[in-house]
Amino acid sequence: MTELQRRLRERGFLLLDGGMGTLLMAAGLEAGAPPERWNLTHPERIADAHRGYLEAGSRVILTNSFGGNPFRLRGRGLEGDLTALNEAAARIARKTAEEAAGGEGRALVAGSMGPSGELMEPLGALTFETAREGFAAQAAALTEGGADILWIETMADLREVRAAIEGAREVSELPVVATLSFDAGGRTMMGVTPGQVLEALGGYELAAVGANCGNGTGEIEEVIRRMRALNPSLPLVSKSNAGKPTWIGAELVYDGTPEVMREHARRILELGASLIGGCCGTTPAHIRAMAEGLRGVTT
């Protein structure tokens, strides 16, 4: 039994963190700049972001490595720093979690692995083998840096998810979690349904499957409801954006207040999710409210 499984069995659910990019932008990260670079240049700001979520109640925090695969880093001129950036991301998160450890022990560190940003064959030029090798390189570095879990997130194409899983399994024995991003209509950008996700990934024995990002709490609640109806026992992840995004001038604003996310946390737990957090627009204030909403709840 993995540590993630043990904690889920003991508690019934675990509170995740919120949006990393949201906090880094507030800390001065320029729009369009690669946040992964800050793992080397501004590690204290990354630690501050983790610390904010840990103090709010997060028991699993994701590393600042969402775009740390070679495909995204290549476009930023950072491909040669892949190992250093991802190892640093995991080390910062683990050290911060260790420093913040209380009576419940250290929070778990999940090595974030986002999509390549490229289309796979036959729609694009990215081959399955190239994708697998790229994700393997990132997974190896996150594992070496001290991650407890490899967390594949915000995916849309099941082929890319499989490539990431297989790459991770090739170089690491850590448990693997996979989440996809579902848009309006309950499908990913590539047309994948919740049922297709469960069917395609069922043979991989993942630690958890679920959804993140998307178009707000209502959309993700429906996805979790459908997944739970199809699989009564698999741990499910819900990491919704803080409401729906709206452009106000040059600023992207999310309409989900902490109170909205507090109620969402209770609903998504009732619908069957056991790993619950937030994505874009979610701050420590939202996570604190979610922790309050889940306090005293047993499953």
20-76 tens-digit pLDDT: 998 999 999 998 899 999 999 999 999 999 999 999 999 999 999 999 999 999 999
How confident is the model at residue 17, as a pLDDT?
98
Of 179, 53, 173, 49, the closest CA to residue 114 belongs to 179
Domain holding 190, by residue range, is 3-294
How confident is the model at residue 298, as a pLDDT?
60
DSSP H or E stretch at residue 70: helix 70-75
Q: Do residues 186 and 226 lie in contact, with contact meaning Cβ atoms separated by under 8 Å?
A: yes
> Counting runs of H as helices and runs of E as strands, what totals does the chain give?
12, 12
Residue 248 clears pLDDT 80, i.e. is over it: no
Q: How far does the chain reach from its first CA to its final CA, in angstroms?
A: 20
Return the CA Rg of the chain.
17
For residues 248 and 114, the model is more confident at 114
Is residue 264 very low, low, confident or very high in pLDDT (cuts 50, 70, 90)? very high
How confident is the model at residue 244, as a pLDDT?
79
- DSSP E strands in the chain: the ranges are 14-15, 60-62, 108-113, 149-155, 176-180, 182-183, 187-188, 208-213, 236-240, 245-248, 251-254, 275-278
Burial of 286 (0-12, 13-18, 19+ CB in 10 A): buried
Is residue 250 very low, low, confident or very high in pLDDT (cuts 50, 70, 90)? low
In a domain, residue 283? The reply is: yes
Residue 103 clears pLDDT 90, i.e. is over it: no
In a domain, residue 250? The reply is: yes
Angle, helix 258-271 to helix 284-294, in steps of 10 degrees: 50
In a domain, residue 156? The reply is: yes
Question: In this structure, how many other beta carbons lie within 10 angstroms of the beta carbon of residue 161?
Answer: 27
Residue 299 clears pLDDT 60, i.e. is over it: no
The CATH number linked to 147 is 3.20.20.330
Total domains in the fold of the chain: 1
In a domain, residue 82? The reply is: yes
Give the Å distances, CA to CA, from 147 to 138, 155, 171, 264: 12, 20, 13, 28
DSSP H or E stretch at residue 140: helix 128-145
Residue 85 tokens, joined: 């950036």
Mean pLDDT of 103-107: 86
Q: Do residues 20 and 45 lie in contact, with contact meaning Cβ atoms separated by under 8 Å?
A: no
How confident is the model at residue 81, as a pLDDT?
97
Q: What is the mean pLDDT of the chain?
A: 95
Please give the biggest Cα pair distance in the chain: 51
In a domain, residue 93? The reply is: yes
How confident is the model at residue 124, as a pLDDT?
94
Residue 131 tokens, joined: 């994708």
Mean pLDDT of 164-172: 98
In a domain, residue 299? The reply is: no
User: Could you give the CA distance from residue 231 to residue 259 in angstroms, rounded to a whole number?
Assistant: 30
Mean pLDDT of 251-257: 78
Per-residue pLDDT tens over the stretch 195-236: 999 999 999 999 999 999 998 899 999 999 999 999 999 999
**Omega within 30 of 0 (cis) for the link into 122:** yes
